[in-house]
A and B are shown apart, each in its own frame.
Chain A
Amino acid sequence: MTQVHVTTTVNGDEVEFLADPRETLLDCLRDKVGMTGAKEGCGTGDCGACSVTLDGRLVCSCLVLGVEAEGKDIGTIEGMADGDDLHPLQAKFIEYAALQCGICTPGILVATEALLKKSPDPSEEEVRYWLAGNLCRCTGYDKIIRAVLDTARDLREGV
């Protein structure tokens, strides 16, 4: 197999790896870059556990090839907190018990951060539809939706 050399940026840091063209960005992040925060729940873009941003756009990293990352800017859950300071969404998810097993949590946090950047005052319906591609089997979504709506309110009010 011919491996392709890829240079990309992950959470602001330049990263290089060799990728077989069949390997997904998710495979490369996890197995080559050593960032296992993005999870594989399905491998087919149906569960959202592998959510990352690609040049600022929310995507499933299982539906992006590693070789496509050349020259791109990737954001993952590992880049969400500012050092020891959790992003307000991260803190609110803990406070609200918006996670049980936690496997979907990185993807949901990356997705909701993208939502709040685009739409700082989302309705409950908007949050639910935005997150429809992030499956959670534990919570019934209730506490997740509440945590997102309350974080959005805090951010708007500058809390």
Chain B
Amino acid sequence: MALDSKTEFKYIGTRPDRPDGMDKVTGKARYGADAYAPGMLHGAVVRSPHAHAKIVKIDASKALAMKGVKAVVTRADFATDLEGEDWDLLENTIAGEKTLYDGHAVAAVAATSALIAKDAAKLVEVEYEILPCVTDVDAAMADGAPVIRDGAADHSVPEGLHPNVVRYTEFGRGDVEAGFAAADLVVERDFKTEAVHQGYIEPHACLANLGADGKGELWCCTQGHWFVRRMCTALLGLETTQLRVTASEIGGGFGGKTTVFIDPIALALSRAAGKPVKLVMSRSEVLKASGPTSSASMNVKMGMTKDGKLTAATAVFRMQGGAFPGAPMDMTTMLAFSCYDLDNVHHEGFDVMTNRPKQAAYRAPGAPMGAFAVESVMDELCQGLGLDPIDARLTNAVKEGTKSSFGPRYKAVGLIETLEAAKAHPHYSAPLAENTGRGIASGYWMNWGGETSTSLAIGEDGTVQVGVGTPDIGGSRASMALMAAETLGIPYENVRVDVVDTASLGVNEPSHGSRATYASGLAVIESAREAITKLSKRAADKWGIDAEAVEWRDGAAHPSGPNAGDFTPLSIADIAGEMGSTGGPITGHHDASPTGFGGSFGTHIVDVHVDPDTGKSTVVRYTVVQDAGKAIHPSYVEGQFQGGAAQGIGWALNEEYIYDDDGRLQNDVFLDYRIPVASDLPMIDTVIVEVPNPGHPYGVRGVGETGITPPLPAVACAISHAIGHRMTRLPISPPRVLRAIQGKGIS
């Protein structure tokens, strides 16, 4: 059978309706909060109003005395023997001796109605001893800063640093001083970015049912229900497989739903009350106590010759990830200079704890901050040397075989192709209106494989069901069905794709790391190939020839040539109709941790108009160019490009976590946590570049994350050009722009 990598496609690259489209436009699709169970109770969480406080006493007697209240849980209701990351996870889920941020969970109540639970939560009396707090990354590293937790630092941290610095990384190559000496221009700048939130519209929600026998079920909105299973069972002291987790439809995640916040609490309440418990976060709880990004304080220095060759680059990234280790400084350092071929490069990273919620992944976690700093300096070098910013990037762009700034050599990658496509795009040469600047920037995400398990089964009529373990966060059912249809040679409509529960497949990592279409897609293709092998064998048996003499094409078994015999082809339906008497059910299955993932580069062009009297910035034109390897369903690839750009624009212009001096979050509603609204944005033009990934049968690269990386620097550079001042601090809010215009600095 010929099953080599394909380049000619019948279904892949088309734009069929997504299988779950009907349910999602009619309100039938069931998300996290849309589940109900007989006898169900409602939960409510008691949260700390203090950013840093010792818990002196918790008295739940008044709450428990309230009619309708069935259970109250505290830290005492969870596992006591945890360490390392599991202990961090539990401590973040429900506070132990101290509360570590505004909104940190302290206790929870289950009652017969949501209103009773909410009222009862107010009756749980918690006595606090307030401690000094710190929320800024630089302040948290300074002498005298309040210590979040002594002894949290690992062996990587050099002597003499504040105990809030918990991890440190440092790496590079070459001789950066010699490199800077060889440069015609060296630019060094400090940068700051604020923490932002993924901003998914669906708050975390779950329905838990856990018995005293240690067996349970959990329905929740998550990007990865096997992760949820592992985390919840660890925190509750259960055997992993005794909990079955079903992923609801998910109303956005962007990395923020790859961990747990309320799910273990709902399970604990259910175990205590002996009834199912539904727990739903409010928007305020989401913003205060889920997992926003890290904020960063950075220094980048780069040198360039007058003909545009980079000679050296250094970067320092100080990143806070909340009250726990885990700020993504390793990814930030690794990817900061990923676009460029550098002989002399050096990186330093600090992971710093503050009194903020534990950061979680957000689309290309860690990469956008580094890109903001590096691409801004790159832009300033081009400006200073009078170079075209795309030409200068082409001079230094990595390609197949280039040794990356973080070590390994690149396989086939598409940075040059995106730069060339951007340069050829009419946007790049369009005239600019008054008070308008143009920014361009490139970015990268290396993507991921991860544990993957899929199954495929042939129905009696020859249609096909596919089970995957990666929740559909943006149309991946359609992509899976297209890949199955392409491989099997059957119509797209004949494939049903389900996201199945944790009892139905082996372990799957979440839909994160831009891995779903790559890894689950690859496993679906391999599952289909296994099914084809079995289907072909059934035909061979029927024809009395060797299986090797059967060729599978267009959804049917054919004799591979004249020597194989002269038989009428058997369609998948023909074979399926007889499967009961020819050997039983026909399925395909694939388990792997595929490592052939290929990174995706992108280059963005943006025009921003600035009102010189108010400092207000308006994005007037935006173009995304990105390498998809092979676009399985181009509409959803474009959607990823557009969504990433929109989120990056929000991060650049308006979004930020604002804490007061007492560490209380000031903007815990969408009114003041300002994500882009429809009238804020122009159409977002897209160009799909396809440089096939050699590690996937059809050339797929993940496309979800790269798109949020270039917008931060692209928007910042556009504004800097519009006003003639370099903007080095996000968000680039109107007060900051106005100060810059007035020559008063930007802080």
Please report A residues at the B interface, Cβ cutoff 8 Å.
Answer: 1, 20, 22-23, 27, 30-31, 35-44, 46-47, 49, 76-78, 80-81, 86, 90-91, 93-97, 99-106, 109, 124-125, 127-129, 131-146
Contact = CB atoms under 8 A, between A and B. Distances in A.
A140 B684 contact: yes
B27 A40 contact: no
A44 B643 contact: no
A105 B20 CA distance: 13
Given A94-B22, A96-B635, A143-B639, 17 more contacts: A39-B31, A42-B283, A44-B671, A78-B27, A90-B26, A99-B25, A100-B643, A101-B251, A101-B252, A102-B249, A106-B27, A131-B678, A134-B678, A137-B200, A137-B201, A140-B645, A143-B638
B643 A39 contact: no
Contact of A105 (B25, B34, B638, B684): B25
Contacts of A20: 115
Contact of A142 (B29, B33, B201, B683): B683
A101 B25 contact: no
Given A36-B27, A37-B27, A102-B29, A140 B681 contact: yes
B635 A44 contact: no
Contacts of A106: 25, 27
A76 B633 CA distance: 31
A137 B678 contact: no
Contacts of B198: 137
Interface residues of B, number: 57
Interface string B281-296: 0110000000000000
A97 B18 contact: yes
Interface in B516-557: none
Contacts of A134: 678
Contacts of A103: 31, 200-202, 249, 251-252
Interface residue SS majority, chain B = loop
Interface of B: 15, 17-18, 20-22, 24-31, 33-34, 114-115, 198-203, 249-254, 280, 282-283, 473-475, 633, 635-636, 638-639, 642-643, 645-647, 669-671, 675-679, 681, 683-684
A40 B33 contact: yes
Nearest to B646: A140
14 contacts: A27-B114, A35-B27, A37-B27, A37-B28, A46-B283, A46-B670, A46-B671, A86-B26, A97-B475, A102-B25, A105-B25, A131-B679, A135-B201, A139-B643
A47 B670 contact: yes
Contacts, number: 183
Given A106-B27, A135-B677, A137-B643, A86 B22 contact: yes
A105 B24 contact: yes
A78 to B, nearest CB: 5
A152 B730 CA distance: 39
B677 A143 contact: no
Contacts of A27: 114
Contact of A137 (B28, B203, B638, B675): B675
A125 to B, nearest CB: 7
A139 B639 contact: yes
Nearest to A95: B17
Looking at B26, B33, B114, B642, the one whose CB has the most chain A CB atoms below 10 A away is B26
Contacts of B202: 39, 41, 101, 103
